[in-house]
Amino acid sequence: MLNEVTSIAVVGCGLMGSSIAKTLGAAGNNVAAWNRTSEATNNLAAFGVAPQSSLEITIRTYDCIVLVLSNYEICRSLITPFKEQLRGKVVVNLTSGTCEEADSFGAWMRASEVLYLDGSIWALPKGIGQTNTCLAYSGARSAWERASLYLSQLGGASRFVGERFGAANALEAAFPGTFYMTAILSFIEGIALCKAYEISEATIMDAVAPTMDLLQGSIVQTIQKITAGDFTTTQATLQVFLDAVSSYVLNEHSPVKDSALTTALRQTLEQICLSGFSDRDVASTISRWLKPS
């Protein structure tokens, strides 16, 4: 079995990188930090983080290198001169980017026998180190096994999600990304409608809990139906969903009557119903996006 990581270096100390370094340093780990400008790393010394002035020495000295940079292009340009020195080490890339960029960068790392993980951060800097914060990691399982003690300290809900390098980015794009963003914007539009009908903030707050219960139950059922490939229903068909959404857009006093979100929702439901799925469960809309096997 490969030895566990015993030292870790954070490369890139902006707001997120600094928060990561502080969290690891405050936990008493052997942590260093490198940044293009020394001021950012010098400010971390009070948290038990060793400032580094040389990226080459940093890479050579520490077992695990965590990249927290602006994009994959910058990562590649910084790492290229020292790529050979990374052989056999763990590299964790927490840079934002596409799934394809993660796959490409991971293949490039693997070609030099680097144990590579690509990660996504589901939090703001202030959430790093919290018990309910999730960072998702994908790539070399052996890298996760070696570095998980450190990486789990960055968020109590952190996890390894798959061996394809782009998997962590895909999971982020799916749920804390488009799902969360669409949901929060729809929620804000809902508040605007409530305001138009003089519904109080207290009543809006009281409506949140039963709505979340309904959503959670529906999500679980949807996963089960997609897994089973069974889209029959005795509850609410796609036509029922379409009829409901169609009535929402007829609210004359709604300040969001012509919302792009609601319009897209109605159009999606109309298209899938016209495809012959009107009597199926809402989970059947997965057929619009799944690639043929």
Evaluate whether residue 188 is within a structural domain: no
CB 44 within 8 A of CB 70: no
Would 99 be classed as within a structural domain? yes
CATH number at residue 57: 3.40.50.720
Same domain, 56 and 163: yes
Residue 2 resides in a domain: no
The domain boundary residue, chosen from 124, 151, 170: 170
Distance CA 67, CA 69 (A): 6
277 and 236 housed in the same domain: yes
Number of domains observed in the structure of the chain:
2
Residues 39 and 157 in one domain: yes
| The length of the chain, given as a count of residues | 293
Contact in structure between 158 and 151 (CB atoms under 8 Å)? yes
Q: Is 43 a member of any domain?
A: yes
Domain termination site, one of 130, 155, 170: 170
Judge contact between 7 and 32, C-beta under 8 A.
Answer: yes
Tell whether 91 and 227 lie within a shared domain: no
The CATH number of whichever domain residue 254 belongs to comes to: 1.10.1040.10
Distance between CA 83 and CA 144 in Å, rounded?
A: 20
| Domain final residue pick, 155, 170, 185 | 170
Within the chain, which residues score under 50 in pLDDT? 1
**Pair (163, 70) in one structural domain:** yes
HSE toward the beta carbon, residue 82, CA cutoff 13 A: 16
Kindly state whether residues 41 and 143 are assigned to the same domain.
yes
CA distance 68 to 107: 19
Asked if residue 193 belongs to a domain, the reply is no
29 contacts 150 by C-beta, under 8 angstroms: yes
Could you tell me the residue range of the domain that residue 277 belongs to? 200-288
Is 8 strand, coil or helix? strand
CB 179 within 8 A of CB 205: no
Q: What is the DSSP letter of 178?
A: I
Query: Do 139 and 74 share a domain, yes or no?
Result: yes
- pLDDT at 1 (0 to 100): 42
205 and 162 in a common domain: no
Q: Residue 88 falls within a domain, yes or no? A: yes
The answer to whether residue 74 sits within a structural domain is yes
- The model's pTM is 0.87
Domain match, 46 and 156 both = yes
Whether 190 is in a domain gets the answer no
Does residue 165 sit in the same domain as residue 226?
Answer: no
Tell me: do 39 and 91 sit in the same domain: yes
Residues 213 and 156 in one domain: no
Which string of DSSP letters, residue by residue, matches 2-68?
Answer: PPPP--EEEE--SHHHHHHHHHHHHTT--EEEE-SSHHHHHTTGGGTEEEES-HHHHHHH-SEEEE-
- Residue 14, phi then psi, degrees to nearest 5: -75, -155
Contact in structure between 157 and 132 (CB atoms under 8 Å): yes
